[in-house]
Every structure is written in structure tokens, then in C-alpha cells.
């Protein structure tokens, strides 16, 4: 387990955020399903993105790196027989690939490693058989072995556990035999589903949104090859935006103001905390001079919790974050991890039902903390260390490689 020490002190510089791993994984899989040649540009080098690249190769796509994050992808002609797809620790990869593999006629196993093995996949046990899919020796977690083909159906589905399952179905059902009408109740993280629909549209797939939660999905569609550029990652940017709000002199570049990413809601969260956001030709700046305790509903953007907890920790008074039930099924139980690690730094966080109540202070002591094998916990503790009274020592710092392998290098590159 790697350890890193973050020294407090002012920081200044330009941060170019990495590509969105959520956007990347969707685009790579769509390109693999298109019979022809696509070019995907600005693919990142995180573990999750590289796992998806390998997965589509294992499914029969041809992937040729062109350098600087650009890949040429020739789509799958037919799924291989009895293949095992390994997604490592990518929850999104597991859920997208399981559904897509279930659309084919071959028996395919999706497996993973680390904390992903304990994350639930039970949604598919309840739903996939209703689309004609066979599951083999499945216990609710990875590995999962599926065999289609999928047949369209009319179904009401609970979307409260994770939008990733819904996105998986939206990717797979256009390949099914016949039309599907899917009504989703209690949909969590709706913006991620909207991102999926946007990517599908770019690859020629049409899904009709008949009402807010009712989707009509014609089967037998064909994915169309295209050239696709990955957006900058608002999730990764949230840490740097927090750092800027707390006093770091940063310009954050590479973000799209028209993005469908859920974590663009970081802008609204910052404004609710009294911060101002300025967009220049160079990038985005945040001023937190007038920051104040805040209340924010992060139900649709749960990946913002770590960054927002760090922001709230440095604002004297009580801030409240809603949507804490969304933190249980992540790389760690993020609610528990945030409460335990910030307590080591002298900050009390109460987990009350669906809320986190953060009791912020003007100063935070340093200390030794754990990342819980969770990339977002590691990164937010790193940002916290820029402003603490004493250094913060983070055990498990290597976990950032899941989404942002160069995070510590980017932090070190800032002028201190």
C-alpha cells in the first residue's frame, strides 16, 4: 500500500482535467458495437478506461492506438463463444458489459476484482430473464454468466440502486428482437442516463422518451461508426474546484459547459456555498472568499460527496448534504469512510438517515488517514491536506489510478 504526504501551503497553477471515464466507457462500447471503423479521441489512461478497452478486444473488436489518447476501433462482427470478460474494479464497466453481452447468443462471463466483487449485481437477476436472457450459477455478485438473445418486453423497473444498470439496458435493448417499453421508477442519477442517451444518439441509436420515465426502444437497430471526442471529467474537476474555493489560485481547463455529466452540478453546489465561478478563455476559476455553510442535494451526483465534504469541513458551521444512501454501493462505503477519516482530522460528520451533517471549522489539524481503496476518498483527502494545519499522510494513495492516475503528479506540479 502506497503512502503519500501532502504538505499544507498555497498552490497556484493550471489544471487540465483528465477525460471523463464515464463518457469514455460508453463511447468505447458503442464503437465496439458498430460494424465499421470509429475513431475515439481523448481516451484516458485510468484503470477503468483501460479495462473497457481490453474488454471490447476480448469481445472481438479491433483496437488500434494512434497516440495521444486517440484510438481507431473496428467493431465486433460476432461475439466469441464461452469468453470471460474481466472488468477489474470498474462498476460501470461490469454493468454496461453484462447487459450488452446478454443481448448476444453466446454464453459470456463478466468478472472483476477487488471491492467490485462485493458490489451488488442483483438487479440483473430480477430483470434480464424478463428479456429472455439465461443466467448461470449467479449469486447476486460477479462473476455473472449470461446468454441471450434478448427479446423485447414491456416492463416497469426500479432504478433506485444505480443508474448504471439502466444505462446497461439502454445500450443492450436496441440489439434485442422486438420493441421494448421500459418504465423506470425512482431513477437515481438521471443525468448519467441522459449521458447514455446522448452517446447512443451519436452512434445512430434512437430511443424515444415517451414521458419523463418511459422509454420506447425499438430492437434490431444497428450502431453506426462515428468519430467521437471524449469530454473533460467534471467528477475529477470537483476536487480542484474545491481547492480553488478554499484559496488555491487555480485555472481549471478542459471542461465543456454543455456537458450532460451529472457532476457539472458542482457549479450549483459551489454557488449554494456562496462561492462565485468565473469562466475565462483559459478555463474556470472559483472564488470562495464569501463561502458559507450550505445545504445541497447530491442524490443525482453522488460522486461529488467527497469534494463537497472537504469544502464543508473548512467552512465553520453546519453544512448538510442530501442523498447519502447513494454512497453505500461505491468502491467503499463512502459515508462511513468520510465520517471515519475526517474524524481523525478533527471534523465531526453525522450520518443521519439520508443526510451527512458536516460540522466545519476554520482550521483542520493534520494526521494519518486511509483511502479505503477508493480513488475519490484519496483525492479529496489530498485536497484537504493543502489547507490543514499540519501535513496529512494518506495510506492507499495508489487508488487514484482507478480514475485519475496522474492526480498526485498534477498536485505536485502546482507552484507551492
Q: Tell me the torsion sign for CA atoms 26, 30, 32, 36.
A: negative
The three grid cell numbers given for residue 379, joined into one nine-digit string: 483525492
| CA atoms of 202 and 138, how far apart (whole Å) | 34
Helix (H) or strand (E) holding 51, with range, is: helix 47-58
Q: Is 390 helix (H, G, I), strand (E, B) or coil?
A: coil
> DSSP states of 327-379 as a string?
GTTSSS-HHHHHHHHHHHTT-EEEEETTEEEEEE-S----EEEE-TT-HHHHH
- Residue 185 CA to residue 316 CA, distance in Å, equals 38
Half-sphere exposure in the Cβ direction for 183 (13 Å, CA): 5
DSSP class of residue 61? Answer: -
Joined together, the cell numbers standing for residue 321 give: 448534504
* CA 173, chain centre distance (Å): 22
Peptide bond into 37 cis (omega under 30): no
- Asked if 331 and 115 touch (Cβ cutoff 8 Å), the reply is yes
Q: Read off the C-alpha cell for 398.
A: 495508489
User: Annotated catalytic sites, by residue?
Assistant: 303
Bridge pairing between strands 180-185 and 392-395: unpaired
Amino acid at each position: 500500500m502506497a503512502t503519500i504526504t501532502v504538505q499544507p501551503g498555497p498552490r497556484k497553477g493550471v489544471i487540465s482535467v483528465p477525460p471523463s471515464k464515464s463518457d469514455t466507457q460508453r463511447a468505447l462500447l458503442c464503437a465496439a458495437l458498430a460494424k465499421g471503423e470509429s475513431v475515439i479521441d481523448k481516451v484516458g489512461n485510468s484503470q477503468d478506461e483501460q479495462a473497457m478497452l481490453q474488454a471490447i478486444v476480448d469481445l472481438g473488436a479491433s483496437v488500434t492506438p494512434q497516440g495521444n489518447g486517440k484510438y481507431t476501433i473496428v467493431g465486433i462482427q460476432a461475439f466469441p463463444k464461452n469468453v470471460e470478460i474481466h472488468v477489474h474494479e470498474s462498476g460501470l464497466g461490469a454493468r454496461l458489459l453484462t447487459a450488452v453481452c446478454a443481448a448476444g447468443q453466446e454464453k459470456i462471463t463478466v468478472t472483476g476484482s477487488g471491492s467490485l466483487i462485493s458490489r451488488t449485481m442483483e438487479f440483473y437477476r430480477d430483470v434480464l430473464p424478463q428479456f429472455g436472457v439465461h443466467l448461470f450459477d449467479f449469486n447476486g455478485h460477479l462473476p455473472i454468466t449470461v446468454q441471450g438473445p434478448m427479446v423485447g418486453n414491456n416492463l416497469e423497473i426500479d432504478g433506485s440502486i444505480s443508474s448504471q444498470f439502466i444505462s446497461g439496458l439502454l445500450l443492450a435493448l436496441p440489439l434485442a428482437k422486438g420493441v421494448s417499453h421500459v418504465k423506470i421508477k425512482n431513477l437515481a442519477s438521471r443525468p448519467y442516463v441522459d449521458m447514455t442517451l446522448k452517446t447512443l444518439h451519436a452512434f445512430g441509436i434512437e430511443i424515444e422518451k415517451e414521458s419523463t420515465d418511459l422509454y420506447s426502444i425499438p430492437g434490431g437497430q444497428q450502431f453506426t461508426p462515428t468519430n467521437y471526442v471524449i469530454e473533460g471529467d467534471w467528477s475529477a474537476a470537483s476536487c480542484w474546484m474545491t481547492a480553488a474555493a478554499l484559496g488555491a489560485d487555480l485555472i481549471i481547463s478542459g471542461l465543456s459547459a454543455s456537458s450532460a455529466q451529472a457532476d457539472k452540478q458542482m457549479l450549483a453546489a459551489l454557488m449554494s456555498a456562496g462561492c462565485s465561478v468565473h469562466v475565462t478563455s483559459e478555463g474556470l476559476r472559483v472564488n470562495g472568499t464569501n463561502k458559507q455553510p450550505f445545504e445541497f442535494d447530491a442524490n443525482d451526483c453522488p460522486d461529488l460527496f467527497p469534494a463537497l465534504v472537504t469544502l464543508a469541513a473548512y467552512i465553520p458551521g453546519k453544512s448538510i448534504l442530501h442523498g447519502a444512501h447513494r454512497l453505500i454501493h461505491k468502491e467503499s462505503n463512502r459515508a462511513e469512510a468520510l465520517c471515519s477519516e475526517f474524524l481523525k482530522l478533527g471534523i465531526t460528520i453525522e450520518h443521519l438517515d439520508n443526510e451527512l451533517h458536516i460540522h466545519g471549522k476554520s482550521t483542520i489539524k493534520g494526521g494519518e488517514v486511509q483511502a479505503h481503496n477508493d480513488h475519490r476518498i484519496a483525492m479529496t483527502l489530498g485536497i484537504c491536506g493543502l489547507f490543514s494545519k499540519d501535513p496529512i499522510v494518506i495510506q492507499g494513495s495508489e487508488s487514484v489510478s482507478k480514475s485519475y492516475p496522474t492526480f498526485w503528479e498534477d498536485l505536485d506540479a502546482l507552484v507551492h
